[in-house]
Chains A and B, each alone.
Chain A
């Protein structure tokens, strides 16, 4: 069964750092681009970052560029989101998601369970 299991998240002070993880199983991880999407409380979905299967190409939303870094360890079938210089408006549930096909820009067919990140003093 294809599955994404998220970990990390929690409460962090403004200016702090946090790393989210997303462990994949049930598919050939290195073949598929992966993505992070977030949802602030009571609001809609916002794309955050994406990475190619090989890890050679990465994309970040302007709102996180220079502060967040998406990466992956294909030997561990794990996706990461390193979040630095966190701000209150980064408070959200963060989801990892798998691309449906072996394309860099694609629909997201499998999602993680989500993890809450709260930035507050």
Chain B
């Protein structure tokens, strides 16, 4: 199974900050990666698909990049509603594997 290593596991930031979360795959997954946001008690929400495509309705301050084994999610200017946990998920093959998550805190 492909292992997805996400870092950091937690991150303290302030409103207006630029933050970057990384995800590394244990093998080449092309650009088959998505990023999800989860607010406590809520279902995950798709932010980015195909490594860099912005899901409809998601604010443009979210962006994704990378291919092969190394990927990043960037939030250009944090807003209060962005404090949540973020997960990467490889869309390359089965079994599907998530990163461990990054909790973004104030």
CA distance A63 to B33 in the complex (A): 23
Say how far A99's CB is from chain B's closest CB, in angstroms: 9
Least CB distance from A65 to B in Å reads: 10
Contact-residue bracket for chain B: 20 to 34
Instruction: Tell whether A109 pairs with B46 under 8 Å between CB atoms, given A45-B87, A47-B97, A59-B95.
Output: yes
How near does chain A come to B7, taking the closest CB pair, in angstroms?
14
- Verify A105–B94 contact, CB threshold 8 A: yes
Chain A residue nearest in CB terms to B98: A45
Q: With A105-B93, A107-B34, A107-B49 in contact, do A44 and B98 touch (Cβ < 8 Å)?
A: yes
Some 12 contacts from A to B, beta carbons below 8 A apart, are A45-B36, A45-B89, A45-B101, A50-B94, A61-B95, A105-B94, A107-B34, A108-B34, A108-B46, A109-B55, A111-B43, A113-B43
Q: Which 7 A-B pairs have the closest CB atoms?
A: A47-B96, A111-B43, A107-B49, A107-B34, A44-B101, A59-B94, A45-B98
